[in-house]
Amino acid sequence: MEISIQKQKMDLIQWLTTLNDESIIQRLIDVRNNQIKDWWKELSDAEIESIEKGIQDADKGNLVSHSEARKVYEKWL
């Protein structure tokens, strides 16, 4: 499957090099720009709050080692 995707990418690149229609080029740029979103803005308030709490805990030294975390969560890993 990877080979197929790589071939499709190469086909698109080749097509782009011959493209002269500015409106299509602009639409492609718009698609690319929409793919580069700030994921932080997509988070819910609860997710942001949880992340910020985790950062505060880490800043205070309230940390758990990786090996301890693996023991707690190993059934889901």
Residues in the chain: 77
pLDDT digits (tens, 9 = 90+) for 39-62: 888 899 999 999 999 999 999 999
- According to the model, what pLDDT value does residue 55 have? 94
Has residue 34 got a pLDDT over 70?
yes
Q: Which two tokens stand for residue 32?
A: 């690319």
Q: Is the pLDDT of residue 2 over 90?
A: no
DSSP 34-76: HHS--GGGGS-HHHHHHHHHHHHHHHTT----HHHHHHHHGGG
| pLDDT band per the 50, 70, 90 thresholds, residue 1 | low
